[in-house]
Amino acid sequence: MITKNLGIALLISAFASTSANAELEAFSTVLVDRSDSMQTLACGFSHDSLITANLGLDQLELLILAKAPSNVQKMVDDIAERFQSFERIGKVEVYLTTADVAVAFEFEGNPYIAYNADKIDRLQSEFGDVAINAIFAHELAHVYLGHWHATSPRSVKELQADFLAGSVLQGLNVSKPHSRIAYDEFADENETDAYPSRDTRLGSLIAGWEKSCQFDPTCNPNAEAKQSQLDAARGNIIVDPIDVFPTNQSARYSSHMENMVDAIGIRVGTYLSSTGLQELDSSIANIGFFPLQLGSGVFRSSPSTVFARGKEIDAIGIVMGDAQVDSGANQISLSSTFFVQGDHGGLLSHRQDITEIVPSQSVAPSIVAQEYLGEEWFKMAVLSQISRNLRVARDSANPSELQNAKALLLTFRSGLGSNDPALIPIERFLAEIESYNAE
Amino acid sequence: MLNNLLKWLTNSAFSAMIIFAFCTPTASLAQSSFSADFCFDRPSSPCIVPVRPDRFKSIILEFIDIEQSTIGHTLGRLVWREVRELTTDIRGTVVVLAHNQSNFGTVSTRNPLLSPELDGTYPAEFITSEMLRSKGHIAANLIGQQSTAEIVIWGNALSVGEAVLMQPNMTLPSISSNKVWTSVRLSGEEFEMEVPLPSERLNFPESTISRTELFERKFMVRCNRASNCPDGIELKAAPSITSKVISRIDRGVQVSVSDAVNQWLFVETGDISGYLNIYHVELTPANLVFLEALVTGRSAPNLNSDVVFSQTVSGIYPVSQIAKDADNLENEHIIKNWYEINVLDNKFWVQGTRDNYGPAMPASLFVAALYRFQDGQYLQAANLIQRYLLAEASTDPKVLASAHRFAALSNYLGRKQGTALEDDYVEKSLEHANRSLEHLPFDPAGYAILGAILTSEGNFDDGIQSVRDALDLNEFDPYIIEFIEVYCPAISKVGLTPELCTA
C-alpha cells in the first residue's frame, strides 16, 4: 500500500481558525499528536484501540484513502448546521479511512472526520441514511466540544458527545429508535478503557434527545406513541397518517387518500375472508388498520428504519404513502412493510413500493392501491399474525395453542400456489411446531 | 408546512375522522346505531330472508362502491344481466339482483333479500354492503345460506374520473354442511359415491378500464314486457325514475352508450340523448369468445348472405357492429343477433349464440358454468369454464384450481353425453384434476376430487392414495373430514377398507 507521511499534525485550538482546511491527499498517512495529558487528539466512534494499533505513546496514524463522496459530505454539513455557533468551527472535511467506523481528528488546526466506508455503507444500506446520522453527529459533537483539548476522562468525553449527538439528532427529526441504531451496531456492549458500556452510552444519547425535545416546540409528543397506543397497535397494520395524507397539497386529495386506505382495508378483508382463517382464529379476524404517527424519523425511503420501528412496537405491518404534484403530473406513492417476527431464525420482512404517475385531474390513489397491491402484501399480514400466535403458543407451552397454529398454517397453505414465497416461512413454522411437540 | 400539517392532523376533529375511517369499516352505520355484526348475531330472526328457495339461483349483490360513485350499483346490474343472458334457457333457475332500494331514489322495487322487519328501517344495500365490507366472504356465505342461494356474486368497485376498477368475487356458500357446497354423484362400473364439493371463496382478478370502455358500445332498445311497449321506452332527462321523460325510443332501435349512473345508461340516438334504464337494452356483447369453434362468417347480417369465412377459431374478438336478425325480431336476448367482428383481417358477420357471448365481466362465464353444471349439462359447463380461462388471464391459483376442478368433474360426469369417445373425456377430466393440483399443490380438496374420480374409474390404489394425500395435507380440514365420512362407506362397498378409513 502506498502511504505518504504528510507530517505531524499541529496542536492548535479548534476554535482558532475559520479558514479553509488543508486538503488531505489520498493514500496519505496522517499522524495525529496526542495531547499533553496523553488524551488522543482523535476520537473514534468505537474501538479506539484499533485506531491506535501501531502507534507510540504520542502519536496515532490514520491512513487517508480518499475524499468522502459529496453526498456524505453534504450530510455532515447538514448535521453540522445543527450545532449552535458552528460557524466558529468552520467546515469539517470528511475522508475515507481504514480506521474502525469513524474518527474525528484535528490536523493543522482544522477539524476532520474520517470514516470506514465499508462499515458505514453497510449500515446505510441496511438501515438507511437515518442510521449513519448518529455516527457523524457523535463525531461532530467531539469537534464542537473541542474534546482534544479537554482534560476530562475519555469516557466522560464520549458520554458528552453521545448526549450532544442525541440532542442534535432530535433536532434533525430522527426518532429515538433510529438514533440508537448505530450504537446497537457498533458500540461495545461492555465498558472498555475508552468507552462506557453500550447501555450507558445509549442512556446519554436518549437523555440528550429528550432534553432537546422539551425545548423544541415542533417536537410533537404524539410522534412518540403513548403506551396505550402501542398496546392497541400491537398485531395490527399501522397506517401512518403523516405519510398517507398528502404533505404538499393539503386537503386537495385528502378524500382520495382516505378512500385509498378504505380500499386497502376492503382488499385485506376480502383476501382474509377468502382464506377461511378468520373463522379459525379470532386474532386473524381482528387484523385491521391502526392509525399511529411513527415519528418523523421513520423515512419511507429507508426500509430498515420502518422495520426497526415496526419491530419495536410489534406491529405486523406498516403502510405509508403520499401524493404530490410535480410539473403537471400527480405522483402517487405507496409503500408497505410487513414483519414476520419471532425466534424463527431471524426476522423476515416484506416491502413493496408503488409509485404511479397519473394524469393531472384524475388522481385515483385508491385505484393505485387496489391495482398494485399484490396478494403478497396480505399474505405477509397473515404470516405475521401466525408468527405472533406461534410465539405466544411456544411461550405458554400450551399444546392446544400449538395445534391451533398448525391448523392455521395448513389451512393457509392450502390456498397457496406451488411457487408462493410464503411457503418458505410456513414450512419453517410447521417444522418449528413439530420440534416443540417433540420436546 | 410539515408542522402545519401535523397540527392539522392532530386536531381533534380530523383525528376522529381518521380513526372513524380506519377502525370502523361500518363507520357510516355507526351513526345510525347499526353494526354489520347485528346480522351475524341473529340466527333465529335473520336479516336476510329466503328468496325463491325452490330454484337454483345466484344472488348478485351490488359491488362495494368505495368512492361512492354509483359504479357499484351499475356493475351489479351489468353482471346480473350477463349471467341471466347466459342462463335464461335453463329451467328452474333464477338470477337475483340485490340492489340498493334507496339508491338516490332511483329504484322503486324493494331489495328481495331484506327481512320485512328491517325493510324501511335501513336501506337494503346499507345492510348487505356493510356486511360485505366488514366480513367479506364470511358475509357472502351468510347471505347465501340465509337466502338459500347457491352462488353469491359480489365485488369491489372503484371509479375516479374516467377509470373504473372491478374486482368481482364469488362465494359458493356452505349449504349442506360445514365447508361443503353441494354434492354430485359419481358412478363408475363398481364404485359409486355422492361426492361432496367444497364451498368456494374466489377472488377474481381485478381489472382497470375506463368508464367509456366499459359502456361504449352499441345496444339495442328492448321492451321485455307483456305490453310490448307500444309507446316506446322512456328516455329520461336525468338518471332517476322521477326525472322528466324527454323522449321515447322504439324497441329495436340502436343506441350508443357512453356512460352510466346506477342502472341508467347515458344513450345517444340521432339528435337525442338521455338516460335509459339498463333493463331496456339487449345486453349485446362487447366481444365474442370462440373456443376451437368453427366460425362461419357472412358478408351481411342474415343467413342468405355469402359465406366469406369458415375456419376453426380460438380467441376473443371485439364486436364492431350489431344487427337484429330479420327472422327473430321479437327475440330480445343475445342469441340470434348478428355481430360484426374482424378475424385475421377478415371482417364479417356472425350470428350470436350463448356459446360465443363475451361478457364484460369474464367471471360471468364461470357463474354460467355452474348453472349448466347443476342442470346436468356437464359438457356445456366444461366449455364455459374453458372459455372463462381463455377470456380471463387469471393468475390466482385458487381461481385456476377451482376452474380446473369443475372442468375435471364436468368432463367426467359428461363422459357419456358427448360425441367423442368416453375415454377422451376421462382423460380430459384427469388432466384438469392434475392441473388443479399444479395450481394448488397443498389443497386437500383437489386430491380428494382426484381420488374420487380415480376410484370411480376403478383405479382403486391411486384413488385411495390421493384421498390419503388429502388427509395428510390437512387433517383438520372439515371438508376432508366430511369427504372421508362419505368415501369410506362407498369404498367399503367394493370390498376395500383402506387404512385411512380405520385410523
Indicate yes or no: CB of B477 within 8 angstroms of CB of A417. Answer: no
How many Å lie between the alpha carbon of A365 and the closest alpha carbon of chain B?
9
Buried b (16+ CB within 10 A) or exposed e, A332-360: bbbbbbbbbbbebeeebbbbbebebebee
Three-state SS at A156: helix
Indicate yes or no: CB of A248 within 8 angstroms of CB of B19. Answer: no
Q: Is B25 on the interface with A (CB under 8 A)?
A: yes
Q: Which residue in A has a C-alpha nearest to residue B445's C-alpha?
A: A414
> Which of B236, B336, B231, B338 is closest to B278 using CA atoms?
B236
Q: Do B338 and B254 touch, CB atoms closer than 8 A? A: no
> Which of B211, B104, B214, B216 is closest to B161 using CA atoms?
B211
Q: Do B276 and B233 touch, CB atoms closer than 8 A? A: yes
How many Å lie between the alpha carbon of B20 and the closest alpha carbon of chain A?
10
Q: How many CA atoms lie within 13 A of B22 on its CB side?
A: 23
Grid cell digits, residue A321 = 404513502
Q: Which residue in B has a C-alpha nearest to residue A414's C-alpha?
A: B443
Cα–Cα distance list, A336 to A233, A238, A293, A380 (Å): 16, 10, 15, 10
What distance in Å separates the CA atoms of residue A54 and residue B338, rounded to the nearest whole number?
93
What distance in Å separates the CA atoms of residue B175 and residue B373, rounded to the nearest whole number?
17
In chain B, which among 450-469 make CB contacts under 8 A with chain A? Answer: none
What distance in Å separates the CA atoms of residue A260 and residue A370, rounded to the nearest whole number?
8
Which pLDDT score, from 0 to 100, does residue A157 have?
80
Grid cell digits, residue B306 = 355469402
Among the partner-chain residues A247, A256, A416, the one whose CB lies closest to the CB of B160 is A256
Q: Is B156 on the interface with A (CB under 8 A)?
A: yes
Cα–Cα distance list, B94 to B52, B374, B385 (Å): 8, 13, 20
Indicate yes or no: CB of A371 within 8 angstroms of CB of B162. Answer: no
What distance in Å separates the CA atoms of residue B90 and residue B63, rounded to the nearest whole number?
26
Mutate to test the interface with A, among B131, B137, B396, B439 (most CBs of A within 10 A): B137
What does the DSSP assignment read for B278-309?
Answer: GGGEE---SEEEEEEEEEEEESSSSTTSPEEE
Grid cell digits, residue A266 = 376492503
Indicate yes or no: CB of A411 within 8 angstroms of CB of B474. Answer: yes
Strand partners, A43: A104
What distance in Å separates the CA atoms of residue B130 and residue B23, rounded to the nearest whole number?
14
| Pairs of residues, one from chain A and one from chain B, whose beta carbons lie less than 8 Å apart | 153
Indicate yes or no: CB of A245 within 8 angstroms of CB of B163. Answer: no
- Taking contacts as CB-CB distances below 8 angstroms, the residues of chain A near B21 are 258, 261-262
Residues 6+ apart with CB under 8 A from A326: none
> Which of B309, B295, B319, B292 is closest to B346 using CA atoms?
B309
Which pLDDT score, from 0 to 100, does residue A411 have?
95
Residues 6+ apart with CB under 8 A from A50: A44, A99, A100
- Taking contacts as CB-CB distances below 8 angstroms, the residues of chain B near A271 are 203
Indicate yes or no: CB of B138 within 8 angstroms of CB of A279. Answer: yes
- Taking contacts as CB-CB distances below 8 angstroms, the residues of chain B near A272 are 136
pLDDT digit string, tens, across residues A265-284: 788 888 889 998 988 888 78
pLDDT digit string, tens, across residues B112-125: 777 776 665 666 66
What distance in Å separates the CA atoms of residue A402 and residue A391, rounded to the nearest whole number?
9
Indicate yes or no: CB of B201 within 8 angstroms of CB of A279. Answer: no
Tens place of pLDDT per residue across chain B (503 aa): 223 322 222 232 222 222 222 222 222 333 344 566 777 777 777 888 888 999 999 999 989 887 778 888 899 999 999 999 999 999 999 999 887 644 444 445 566 777 776 665 666 666 777 788 888 999 999 999 999 999 999 998 887 667 788 889 999 999 866 799 999 999 999 999 999 999 999 999 888 777 766 777 788 999 888 788 889 999 999 988 888 999 999 988 999 888 888 889 999 888 899 999 988 999 888 889 998 999 999 999 999 999 999 999 999 999 999 999 988 888 888 888 999 999 989 999 999 999 999 988 899 999 999 999 999 999 999 999 999 999 887 778 999 999 999 999 999 999 999 888 889 999 999 999 999 999 999 999 999 999 999 999 999 999 999 999 999 999 999 999 999 999 999 999 999 999 999 97
The helix (run of H) or strand (run of E) holding residue A173 is none
Q: Which residues of chain A have pLDDT under 70?
A: 1-61, 84-89, 148-151, 214-232, 235, 239-261, 288-304, 307, 320-377
- Total residues found in chain B within this entry: 503
How many Å lie between the alpha carbon of B416 and the closest alpha carbon of chain A?
33
Indicate yes or no: CB of A267 within 8 angstroms of CB of B439. Answer: no
Cα–Cα distance list, A323 to A242, B371, B384 (Å): 11, 45, 43
In chain B, which among 369-398 make CB contacts under 8 A with chain A? Answer: 396-398
Q: Is B64 on the interface with A (CB under 8 A)?
A: yes
Report pTM. Answer: 0.71
In chain B, which among 163-192 make CB contacts under 8 A with chain A? Answer: 163, 165, 167, 169, 179
Rg (alpha carbons) of chain A, rounded to whole number? 25
How many Å lie between the alpha carbon of B158 and the closest alpha carbon of chain A?
7
What distance in Å separates the CA atoms of residue B270 and residue B272, rounded to the nearest whole number?
6
